Amino acid sequence: MDWLLFIKLVLFKLKHRGSQLWIKELLLIVKAIRHYPRCRLLLFGLGWDTFLWIDINKNGRTVFLEDDKGWFEKITQQAPNAEAYLIDYPHNITQWKTLLDKPRELELKLPEEVTRTSWDVIVVDAPAGYRIVEEQAGRMSSIYMASKLIKKGGDVFVHDCTRELERAYAERYLGEENFICEIKGRALLRQYRGS
Parent domain of 110: 3-193
The pLDDT, as a whole number, for residue 16 is 56
Terminus-to-terminus CA distance in the chain, angstroms? 29
- Domain tally, the chain: 1
Residue 187: beta bridge partners?
A: none
Q: How many residues does the chain have?
A: 195
Which band of pLDDT confidence, cut at 50, 70 and 90, is reported for residue 51?
Answer: confident
Does position 190 have pLDDT exceeding 90, yes or no? yes
Using CA atoms in the order 96, 102, 108, 113, what is the torsion angle rounded to 10 degrees? 130
Distance between CA atoms of residues 188 and 22, nearest Å: 10
CATH of residue 23: 3.40.50.150
User: Looking at 15-24, 48-57, 96-105, 178-187, which range is the least confident one?
Assistant: 15-24
DSSP label at residue 95: G
